[in-house]
Structure 1
Amino acid sequence: MPLLKDGVAVSDDKWVRVDDDADLPEDCHALVSMTRWLKDRDTLLTRNKPIGVALESSDNPDEIMDDLDRFGLIAVDFPQFKDGRGFSYGRLIRHRGKFEGELRATGGVLVDQLHYLVRCGYDAVDGDARITEDAWADANSRFSVVYQPTGDGQKTALQKRQVNPADA
C-alpha cells in the first residue's frame, strides 16, 4: 500500500512495526502496539531511538494521552472503511491532546475519506492503492465549505453566515 505524508508519496517508511513478543531492534524507529506500550512503558522510555504506538479501533486513546509527547508516530488502524472510530481518535489525539508528531491512518482508508482525515488531524495515510498525490490534492481542494468545526481553523458554513454587527 502507498504511504503518503502531507500529500507526498514516501518511498521508504523509517518506522518498523514490532510484534508484541519480538525483541526491539536497537537501530530503528520502532512502532509498538498500545498493549505493549502500556505493559513495557518504562523499558521503552529508555530507548535512544524514536518510539511510536499503533492503535487498534478497539483501543482507548485516553490511555496514552499523558504520553503523547513521547511518540514520534501514532498509527491508527481503520479496520474497515465504514468504521469511523479512527476519525474520533484523530481529533482526540491531534486537537485535544495537542500531539505534534506524525498521525497516520492505516488499513481500510479510502480516497473519499482523505479530506475528513486531514480535517481530523491526520498528516499521513497508508491505505487504499488508489491513494496518490493527485488524489490527496483533489480530495483536499474539493470542498470549500465545511459544516463541522475541527481544530484546523476552517470556518463552518454557520460561522460564515453569521454577520458581526460591528462589521456591518
Structure 2
Amino acid sequence: MGAEVRWLTAEEQAAWRAYLRGTREVDVALDRDLQCHGVSLSEYELLSMLSESDGHRMRMSALADLVVQSRSRVTHTAARLERRGLVTRSPAPDDGRGVLLRLTDAGRTTIEDLARTHVASVRRHLVDVLTPEQFTALGDAMSAVRDAYRDDPTTPDPASCPPDPTMEP
C-alpha cells in the first residue's frame, strides 16, 4: 500500500484552484488575442523560440523539450506552420533521425509583427493585473517549480505509468 495522502488544507485547495483557473484564463486570453491574427499560442511559441535560437533553427526534439510539448504535438504544429511558409523542416545534418525546424524569412516577419500583439496581451492579461511584487513572486514561484520538476528523477514519464483501471480504453 502507498504512503498516506497529505490532503490539501482549505487554504491550499483555494490557492490550487485559483492557480488552475488563473493559468487557464491567461492561456485562453493570450491564445484568443493571437487567433485574431490567425496564429495560435502554441504556434506563436514555436515561432518565438526559433526566432531566438542560433541561426533561427532548432532540432524539433529540443524544441519540444523547450516548450514542454509532446514531440507529436510539435510535429503537427510545425506541419501547419510549414504549409503557411513560416518554417521549413529538414533532416539534421549530424543525425539522419533528427529533424531541424528553421524559421523562414516570412516566419521572421510574422513573428516580429506578432510579438507586439503578444507582449501587449501578456501585459494586459497578467503583468498589469498584478503588482510588481506579485509579478516578481510569481516568477520566483514558477522558477522553483520548474527547477524542482527538472531536478526530480522520480517524475514518471506518462508512457511508463501503469494503465488506470478506472479509465475506459
Could you tell me the TM-score, scaled by structure 2's length?
0.21
* Bigger share in strand: 1
Specify the structure having the higher radius of gyration (Cα). Answer: 2
Could you tell me the TM-score, scaled by structure 1's length?
0.21
* Bigger share in helix: 2
